[in-house]
Amino acid sequence: TYTTDTKSREENKKTIENLYRLSVDIKKIRRLKEWILFQDVAYVKEIAGILQEMGADETTVANILERCPEAILHTPGEINAQRALWQLVCQNENQLIKLIEQFPESFFTTQYHENQKANILFFQELGLKNNIITRFLTSTPSIFYNPVEKNKNVVETLQMNYLRLGGSDANMKIWILKLLSQNPFILLNTSTTIQETLEFLQKNDFSDHEVLRLLSKLKGFLFQLTPTTMQKSMLYSKNVFKCSDKELKQLVLKCPALLYYSVPVLEERLEGLLKEGISVAQIRETPMVLELTTQIVQYRIKKLSALGYDIKSGTLESLNGTKKDFEVNYGKIQSKKERPIFNPVAPVPMED
């Protein structure tokens, strides 16, 4: 462990010299994390040596130390232990050094070493592939800082609820692995919040089968919500679309965004659509359009308008979907517009 308190008000000359020899931009460190240069003890040569052993060239070493200068405050023993740990899921040291260069802060967080190790082994036992675990280590490292019992508890709660809601034993493993792969942040929740969220949906007349459907559709985002925020979003949608509870439920199943976006986000997106001349009735017919940001909607409407497609009188389906989905729809409309009109009874011109 290290502290951000500066022990002396003078920079450590030895640290500066060693960093300079490695072509590290010292001005950058002074600007962003000057306190590191005041520490009495630093392991510049040793940490650079370990990175070079793994295959890092001079530029890579300098880049890593500039982005995460805290690395030099760790002992060689701590870094070697971390290296051995990440090797459990990396194919080789070449892949490992690339990950360190991209995500140095994740690699050089060593104070949860035992928890990290226990969680890696737990995820492997669960059946998660190593490439997914490395993605977790770099994108959501905080889930490895939890005691392994906490993560096990959340996974067990999910499995129990999956079966309780009518899921089958045979599909449970695939379901849980897919859910975790799509949204590992689910592990930052507690078993209690997961239980409360599911109970809220059932109290709002969603059947077991429908809750299970929502769980899969939301890819785990459901568990970042609270009953209070979901209640507010549902009430807002009910007022906007002037629909009954039963109709609202169908809209939510069609477009879970109505459940997981906050009221301010829904308001902003709805206003953006109305400004483009789109009616509430059209949005109610195709609520999935609310999953798109106002900027994306404006861009897509502009592109379609250039082809003479009037979004106000047509369906909003052509606006929907991912970037790829939209490009496919746009291509179809474009080719339809450009296709020459063929008259089947017109005489075919013949050469003499």
Q: What is the DSSP string of 144-169?
A: GTS-HHHHHHHHHHHHHHHHHTT--H
Q: Identify the residue whose tokens are 């070079």.
A: 52
137 domain-assigned: yes
pLDDT digits (tens, 9 = 90+) for 206-217: 999 999 888 877
Identity at 74, one-letter amino acid code = H
Return mean pLDDT, the chain. 89
* The CA-based dihedral angle spanning residues 189, 190, 194, 197, taken in that order and rounded to the nearest 10 degrees: -80
C-beta separation of 269 from 255 below 8 A = no
51 domain-assigned: yes
Q: Which two tokens stand for residue 167?
A: 């899921």
**Model confidence band, residue 8 (pLDDT cutoffs 50, 70, 90):** low
DSSP-assigned letters across all residues of 44-106: HHHHHHHHHHTT--HHHHHHHHHH-GGGGGS-HHHHHHHHHHHTTT-SSHHHHHHHHHH-HHH
242 domain-assigned: no
Which residue, 202, 220, 238, sits at the end of a domain? 220
Q: What range defines the domain where residue 55 resides?
A: 10-110
**Residue 339: per-residue pLDDT:** 59
CATH number at residue 177: 1.25.70.10
Q: Which two tokens stand for residue 295?
A: 């900027």
C-beta separation of 158 from 179 below 8 A = yes
Give yes or no: residues 117 and 207 share one domain.
Answer: yes
Give yes or no: residues 89 and 173 share one domain.
Answer: no
Q: Is the whole-model pTM more than 0.85?
A: no
pLDDT digits (tens, 9 = 90+) for 280-309: 999 999 999 999 999 999 999 888 888 888
Q: Identify the residue whose tokens are 């017919």.
A: 285
Which residue, 59, 81, 110, sits at the end of a domain? 110
Q: 187-220 in b/e burial notation, b at 16+ Cβ within 10 A?
A: bbbebebbeebbebbeebebeeebbbebbbbbeb
Mean pLDDT (whole number) for 245-257: 91
Closest CA to 180 of 207, 162, 200, 195: 162
Identity at 166, one-letter amino acid code = G
**Model confidence band, residue 142 (pLDDT cutoffs 50, 70, 90):** very high
C-beta separation of 82 from 120 below 8 A = no
249 domain-assigned: no
270 domain-assigned: no
Which residue, 89, 110, 131, sits at the end of a domain? 110
**Residue 122: per-residue pLDDT:** 97
**What does the DSSP 8-state code read for residue 276?**
T
282 domain-assigned: no
pLDDT digits (tens, 9 = 90+) for 16-60: 999 999 999 999 999 989 999 999 999 999 999 999 999 999 999
Give yes or no: residues 197 and 161 share one domain.
Answer: yes
Domain count, the chain: 2
Is the pLDDT at 244 greater than 90? The verdict is: yes
**Model confidence band, residue 343 (pLDDT cutoffs 50, 70, 90):** low
